[in-house]
Chains A and B, each alone.
Chain A
Amino acid sequence: MGQYVLRRAILAVPTIFASTLVVFLVLRVLPGDVALFIALGTDASGVADEAAIEAIREELGLNRPLPVQYFVWIGNALRGEFGESAFTHRTVAYEITSRLPLTVQLALMGQILAFAIGIPLGIVSAMRRDKAVDTISRFWSILFLAMPQFWVALMLLLFTSRVFNWSPPLGYFLLWEHPGNNMLQLGPAALVLGVGGAAIAARMTRSSMLEVLGEDYIRTARAKGLMPGVVIIRHALRNALIPVISLSAVTFAFLLAGTVILETVYSIPGLGSLMLTSIRTRDYEVIQALVLISVVVVILLNLVVDIVYAWLDPRISYS
């Protein structure tokens, strides 16, 4: 097991390098650079003073050849130094660590809701195939898959503000400092993330459950005289969840992407909104660090899922 994890970690190194290279290049190819935005202001409405822009570029080291810039950045990153934001002049480490808790919490809440709603719904759907419950649950799944998340989020915002005259509080609230405000702020966003994820989880659970219910070993279980509930819980569920869990690394990555939009809609000062602002202003150091983190998170997640997978399915062993 330990060896397996080590092997996976070694395999992750080239993936991480490749992704940093891609992001680095994409950022440089995009029109406009951070110097321009600093000189013109973030809405790019000022008048360009070539000399001033050039001075900023010089100061930020943007005039150096691209390979040099890349290796300087990578070298610093390897030493744990991610530089500072060209705009706020705060360190990237500070920008990220201060916002990380909100996003982690939002993503976790979304994922927990997705499983807590989606998996039971999928099971019931499969057991009552083509009955009313199944039809309704499938209808809702399709609906939430089809509606873009930002739209659902906006509708929810509109609904609560029009009908109840309520909208989530604005500001920066950590769960352990302001639990009430924190939940009120993150709750609606987590709900939107959760129902979207639940739609996917319900569909996957349903189809996988239906497949498992047709397996020979389910017939064996019934031939032993076990009650239907026991057959489902003990014999079908674990088998049915194997594909759902193994795909959850992918769906969680989608969920992380969803936080970018939801944090913006609900003005949550998390990593997602940081990502968006820094892309808009070409704040290279911040974006690069954020992407690096996302890549590492997704890789770690895949590893965790593989370990859970091996625990669920005894046929798989990593020793």
Chain B
Amino acid sequence: MTTLLEVQDLRTQFTTDEALVKAVDGVSFTLEEGKTLALVGESGCGKSVSALSVMRLIPWPPGRIVSGSIVFDGVDLLALREHEMGRIRGKEIGMVFQEPMTSLNPVLTIGRQLTEALELHLGMSRYDANQRAAELLRQVGIPDAESRLAQYPHQFSGGMRQRVMIAMAISCNPKLVIADEPTTALDVTIQAQVLELMKELTQRLGVSLIIITHNLGVVARYADDVNVMYAGKIIERGSAAQVYANPSHPYTLGLLKSVPRLDQPKTESLDPIQGQPPDLGNLPPGCAFQPRCRYAVERCTADTPILESVGDGHEAACWQIAEVAAAH
């Protein structure tokens, strides 16, 4: 099995008037070809910033990748020049954004927005690109593809727009698709359809997938591996099965307990995590989760825990791993 993406000690920071926001703070992960990796965590923990860092789309000012390395398909992305990165974006890595309502250009037709990447990366003629665009729309389940191409984004519903975004992301046969909460903005019935579509397409086309979500149900169903993020760091990682069966970080445990599970008796009541996610510009010393953690001890306020193995390829960053394991 070959490694497609290897992120090492990535740090991305935003300089705001009030503080230095360490949105991504020493994140490392690898993605094997053909696999699906889920990035999970509460709002504001740095999931989107991680994804945008891989695409090198962090807006400067105020944001900047300050250190680390991102090796994609053997190429160090952080060493590329801007125009070289332009050959990776859209061609090798496709991205689906969190906000389908605003991610399409309101004054260009859907067709034009699909064909421009095809013309740029695959050197297609306008005619061929149009044919291919129609085929892509059919692939993502948009009926009446030919006439839809001439329409504008406002003539599409949210779910349809997200399908267009997916079509765009896969249009140039990328090796990797990054889907940043592709369904958060959609209503529940549409969510499942869009996710199924992504799963089906990536499997059929052999594309690797990074799926960002805060829905653990999505993880269980669609991901091979999981990275759980908290305050800019990965605090637990492992295969989806391992993390489900044996959550080793109190935060992961908390996440699992805060959603209803079909594999548990109904009598078990929900137990959401107390408190608010921390302010990334002003983190407490030690473990960032410690103020909300029911297992916290003295040490957690002083030393920052690092990832340690808790099983085959399963790691967690917590000083109280043994207590957490004993408790469930």
Contact = CB atoms under 8 A, between A and B. Distances in A.
Contacts of B103: 216-217, 219-220
Given A224-B168, A226-B86, A234-B116, A314 B57 contact: no
Contacts of B165: 220
Interface stretch (B91-99, B190-198, B231-239): B91-99
Interface residues of A, number: 24
B295 to A, nearest CB: 39
B79 interface: no
Contact of A225 (B97, B105, B117): B117
B106 A314 contact: yes
A224 B89 contact: yes
A221 interface: yes
A28 interface: no
B157 to A, nearest CB: 15
Interface string B79-93: 000110111111100
B154 interface: yes
B292 interface: no
Chain B residues touching A, majority SS: mixed
A315 interface: yes
Interface in A210-257: 214-217, 219-228, 230, 234-235, 238-239, 242
Given A217-B106, A220-B104, A239-B107, A227 B152 contact: no
B89 A223 contact: yes
B108 interface: yes
Interface in A91-125: none
Nearest to A236: B105
Q: Which of B85, B104, B107, B117 has the most CB of A within 10 A?
A: B107
B121 A225 contact: yes
A227 B97 CA distance: 20
Contacts of A238: 107
A234 B86 CA distance: 16
A contact patch SS = helix
Given A217-B103, A314-B152, A222 B89 contact: yes
A297 interface: no
Given A219-B57, A314-B154, A224 B106 contact: no
A215 B120 contact: no
A143 interface: no
B121 A314 contact: no
B131 interface: no
A289 B99 CA distance: 55
Contacts of A217: 102-106
A223 B55 CA distance: 7
Contacts of A214: 59
Given A217-B102, A219-B103, A225 B91 contact: yes
B152 A239 contact: no
B217 to A, nearest CB: 26
A181 to B, nearest CB: 44
A312 interface: yes
A313 interface: yes
Contacts of A219: 57, 97, 103
A226 B87 CA distance: 9
A234 to B, nearest CB: 7
A226 B165 CA distance: 16
A315 B87 CA distance: 32
A34 B57 CA distance: 70
B107 A224 contact: no
Contacts of B116: 224, 226, 230, 234
B177 to A, nearest CB: 11
Given A220-B97, A223-B57, A313 B106 contact: yes
A315 B107 CA distance: 8
Interface in B96-152: 97, 99, 102-108, 116-117, 120-121, 152
Given A216-B97, A314-B152, A314-B154, A221 B86 contact: no
A228 B85 CA distance: 12
Contact of B86 (A215, A216, A227, A312): A227
A214 B57 CA distance: 12
A223 B85 CA distance: 10
A216 B87 contact: no
A167 to B, nearest CB: 47
Nearest to A218: B105
Contacts of A235: 105, 108
B45 to A, nearest CB: 20
A319 to B, nearest CB: 14
A315 B105 contact: no
A312 to B, nearest CB: 7
Contacts of A230: 116
Contacts of B117: 224-226
A315 B59 CA distance: 28
A238 B108 CA distance: 9
A315 B101 CA distance: 14
A225 B120 contact: yes
A223 B59 CA distance: 12
Contacts of B108: 234-235
Contact of A223 (B90, B99, B102, B120): B90
18 contacts: A214-B59, A216-B102, A216-B103, A220-B165, A222-B57, A222-B89, A223-B89, A223-B97, A224-B90, A224-B116, A225-B88, A225-B89, A225-B91, A226-B86, A235-B108, A239-B107, A312-B107, A314-B154
Q: Please name the 7 residue pairs, one residue from A and one from B, whose CB atoms are nearest each other, closest first.
A: A225-B90, A224-B90, A225-B89, A216-B102, A217-B105, A314-B152, A224-B117
Given A226-B120, A239-B107, 10 more contacts: A217-B103, A220-B104, A222-B57, A222-B89, A224-B89, A224-B90, A230-B116, A314-B106, A314-B152, A315-B106
